[in-house]
Amino acid sequence: MLPVIMAFVAALISIVATWLAVQERDMLIATLFSALQSTCYALIYYLLMAPDIVLVYLPVSVGILPLITIILIKKTERYEE
């Protein structure tokens, strides 16, 4: 029962993080919310016993994607008008 509750809480946190990322005007903060959402999804994948997906999903969605996004934010404007 505990894994189901943890997956439900992770799903709720990911929904809130996604909504906050969409509403945020600061692109850097939106990127951090997106990384939080990806971390919650990785936890859900782990609880669903898919460790191979977690091993690929975490470095890409929490490491590489935010890094590329932050580099792009440095080259453009940080705040959305």
What pLDDT is recorded for position 42?
A: 94
pTM, full prediction? 0.87
Model confidence at 64, pLDDT cuts 50, 70, 90, reads very high
What pLDDT is recorded for position 55?
A: 93
Phi then psi for 26, rounded to 5 degrees?
A: -85, 115
Helix H or strand E segment including 42: helix 27-47
**pLDDT tens track for 10-36:** 999 999 999 999 999 999 999 999 999
First to last CA, the chain: 45
Q: Secondary structure of the chain: what % helix, strand, coil (to 5)? A: 85, 0, 15
Whole-number percent of the chain with pLDDT over 70 = 100
